[in-house]
Structure 1
Amino acid sequence: MTPARWRSAALAALGVQVAGLFGLAAYALWRGNLGQGAWFTAIEAVLAGLVLAWWAVVLRRFTRGQETPTENGTLRALRFTFPWLTSFRLVLWFLTLLSLMTGAAPEANTVALTALMTVWPASILAGNAVYGTLARLAPNPADLVRRRRLSEWLNVAAALSLAMAVFNVVPIAGFSSSPTLRDQLVYGLSGALDVLATLLALRAVRAAPVGEGD
């Protein structure tokens, strides 16, 4: 496909993913009866939706070969917000780790828990790198080193997103309750959208013109 078509496909997928994240926030609150865990999930989903929406706007300019001035409002919003999203996600991971270290889920499979607690922060940090690399690259889209770095991080993020989608759909016995079929469909679709949008963004970045294009 042409660069313009890769860009259009990526932006369409990102738009659907943003809408899906806001829908996921509403679903979490409804399913969790406004409990603490539901609020954590909803806050994370809303923050992720906002960051992804701003990231997609900046990506659109980048994949056109256009510079995004450092004073651009969307770029400033992205730079301000994505570290908060990363911090919030790392806090949730750390709280889960603490609960496991204090004896929670003693019957859960140790290997599966270790895999989850390793992949989870790796996915968070890969996402942070994707946001941060584009934020630094946007004012100078001709920077070939950062262009390559963005492609590499998108590739890593896609693989880790797939792994996290599996963990969200297939529960670890003794650690999380068995999800309903509806939960599996919602979280499975959310994970699939994440992987698809990331892969399409990767192709759009690789096809992006160095100078201003279509």
Structure 2
Amino acid sequence: MNFTTRIRKKQRLEEKSMYLVEYVYRILIVKRYLNLLAKLNIHPIAVTLVNTLLFPCILYFIYLKYYILAAFLTQLYAIVDHTDGMLARYTGKQTYIGSRLDRFNDNVFFNAVFIVIALSADLPLYFALIVIISMNLHNFFGLFYFPKKLKQFAKFKRFGLKKWFLDRNFILGIDASLLLSLISIFLILHEFQLLFYTISFCYIFDLVYRIIEIKLNEKERKKWKR
């Protein structure tokens, strides 16, 4: 099985829907050098360890107000974050330790980065707490509420903007890729309050939108049962 076939079978690439920014990282960047990493026999855990070392550096540079450098390293973190998972699945070297370490990196980084940004920018910590609460509330619903609800539908109907994007093989929503990109952009612009407002809005908007979609599907299902 050649490289392209294995990639398409094992990754969320061209054949499956993905988030817009995720497409940029996975298809336009990581896919180009993934085969080289596999040939060099680089273990995915070694790639994951790069981010374990990288995220404290990012937090440190943000705190010191080296925002451009922190933004650059955040983008590097995003690329590495996609690389380890793709490489693990492509080479068949998925491990429990690797997945736990990757999750640890993301959980610590995404919860800590907003606190450090607020401290660095001399903003009240409630700005960071609003984002953290919105993010974790969104994650909670994504892990426990939405999967349970979606299983109740033989066919789930999308509406509005999400349907328009899904018809074009993209998912409209906020994921780690978009989050890291927004952090980088606003670090460069030094617009920290706008960063907190934007990310909080994205999480709440996506959460409310998905709940509305479920309610509309439940309403249609009841209509068909009558």
TM-score (structure 1 length as normaliser): 0.34
Give the greater-gyration-radius structure (CA): 2
TM-score (structure 2 length as normaliser): 0.33
Structure showing greater relative contact order (alpha-carbon pairs closer than 8 Å, 6 or more residues apart):
1
